[in-house]
Chain A
């Protein structure tokens, strides 16, 4: 098998092959997802227990492949600006907190409320007129 074919066949595996050291074997999805969120939002006061609960709740609807991907991205020290998967993870975390309801106030502690799901909590779009009613003129 030549190198080119190898790369083609392994696809995403190629990225995994480049992971530093043996870390992959010992890093759980939970640790990876938590790490990615904390790294990305290191300037916010996140409630760590809440991040951990989010990470568990979030994993419920996800495939093994996704969980594996998150582990890889963590070890590759990826970030929201480099990876859509990380961007989505962090965005979904923030939507599951009171951060946007607190009008994006970066000085307030950020508390986990539960996964953002319009079918369980309708009318929760934090940018809508429900939260930003028009100013009386």
Chain B
């Protein structure tokens, strides 16, 4: 480390961290000193593609691989996986780039539906930051949306399949081209997406990642980026964070900061706080996931052809409404990978929808310290009855929702093991009795400590979290500096 003390010490280098840093740097003086502690290393996109082609790359050994990642936590229910990528850029390296906004009602679940809690900030507060995030990620999206929007998407929408077109005609702004960070047209150093449908590592570098973001954060001379630094605790003194403790190459080190921000994801952020002795009753509690399952819809004499990306569309028909008092909202994703139907003459007379359900934060699902200071212990009792009822309702009603299609039959798969959206361990609230951070993502007790990311979500919604968590980082930094 170059300095004894820093204006800002950031933990992690993925979405939560990078969007916060971007805004912070735009407001900080030229003399500001920022330290970024990243537990992993840069594994460049081109090398990741090589690895997928079966070629050797020395980078592959730098960060935990898929199996080793599972060993970075003590998972008490290993049959339920928690999926993320560690290293520079975090899960931006492996995400799929689906970026719908939340709906305004998602922020008022208690007032409207009597479940969960209301967020201490509302959709209107976040709207300008959604727009800014969409600009930075060059999001492709439609003209009309089910959520209010004050600006056009930076990129034109992806193309529908023939099936999507029928659904859009029937449902208008409740069935839209998916807003996505998979580029529709080449721009900002990224190529156009061409529906190869292996987005976890895009072969043509079409999706937004921190590495290809061109945000200039890690090139900024005020920023010192340290790799291989695993943060495990904080020094908390009279409601202030003084130091960040980390391990690097087997050595115990620390860094001092005027301000500290955690951007290490919902499991690791909570773990760092708990190791540091944070006594907020909600810290680590309410760990959540959305639940997704695939519906295969067999069609009579209708071919499903022509989409331009992996997930072409989002359907909101089972999303918002009074039913959320009783059971979960569902967001539909229309998939476009090369699935087929093994029947003569009917090869592509089929559609595939991923049905994604929200869940409620449940204290039985939580992160706790373990005997190993570097490993969080993860307890997960499973989805709540609220989510499961949402699934049952969908199964009974999907054929009605699809009544504008010539449906022969619908088959449902078992729910996926994970949606890879880790939520809710440091929830945002109006008061410390109800949550861990305030609406600026500042810890209710430690007023120089930001806890970023989707751990702050007060309730979960069925929509993908990353656009919102990135917008929250911009909002928090803008309002706080």
Contact = CB atoms under 8 A, between A and B. Distances in A.
A87 B342 CA distance: 7
B195 A40 contact: no
B304 interface: yes
B305 interface: yes
A129 B340 contact: no
A126 B348 CA distance: 11
B203 A118 contact: yes
Contact of B195 (A94, A104, A130): A130
B393 interface: no
Contacts of B305: 127, 132
A66 B306 CA distance: 34
Interface residues of B, number: 27
B49 interface: yes
B342 A133 contact: no
Query: Among the interface residues A87, A100, A118, A134, which one has the most CB atoms of the partner chain B within 10 A?
Result: A118
B198 A90 contact: no
Given A129-B159, A134-B306, A122 B196 contact: yes
A13 B135 CA distance: 57
Interface string A98-111: 00100010100000
Given A81-B342, A100-B347, A122 B204 contact: yes
B342 A127 contact: no
B347 A104 contact: yes
A125 B306 contact: no
A130 B348 contact: no
B454 to A, nearest CB: 29
B347 A123 contact: no
Interface in B9-48: none
A90 B342 contact: yes
B348 A127 contact: yes
Q: Is the interface of B mostly helix, strand, loop or mixed?
A: loop
Contacts of A94: 340
Interface residues of A, number: 29
Interface in B247-275: none
A51 B222 CA distance: 59
A127 B338 contact: yes
A38 interface: no
Contacts of B347: 100, 104
Contacts of B197: 118, 125
Given A40-B342, A91-B342, A123-B195, A129 B203 contact: no
Contact of B307 (A90, A95, A129): A129
Contact of A128 (B52, B194, B198, B203): B194
Interface string A55-92: 00000000000000000000000001100000100110
Contact of B336 (A106, A125, A133): A125
A82 to B, nearest CB: 11
A26 interface: no
Given A128-B306, A128-B307, A122 B194 contact: yes
Contacts of B337: 125
Interface in B371-400: none
B308 interface: yes
B308 A104 contact: no
B345 interface: yes
Contact of B345 (A81, A106, A119): A106
Contact of A119 (B195, B198, B308): B198
B61 interface: no
Nearest to A130: B194
B49 A119 contact: yes
A127 B345 contact: no
Contacts of A119: 49, 52-53, 198, 201, 203
Query: Among the interface residues B201, B304, B345, B347, which one has the most CB atoms of the partner chain A within 10 A?
Result: B347
B52 A95 contact: no
B344 interface: yes
Given A120-B53, A123-B204, A132-B306, 18 more contacts: A43-B344, A87-B342, A94-B340, A95-B338, A119-B52, A119-B203, A123-B194, A123-B196, A125-B338, A127-B348, A128-B308, A129-B159, A129-B306, A129-B307, A130-B194, A130-B308, A133-B306, A134-B306
Which 3 pairs, one residue from A and one from B, show the smallest C-beta to C-beta distance?
A: A123-B194, A128-B195, A118-B196
Interface of A: 40, 43, 80-81, 87, 90-91, 94-95, 100, 104, 106, 116-120, 122-130, 132-134
7 contacts: A104-B348, A118-B196, A123-B196, A127-B336, A127-B338, A129-B306, A132-B306
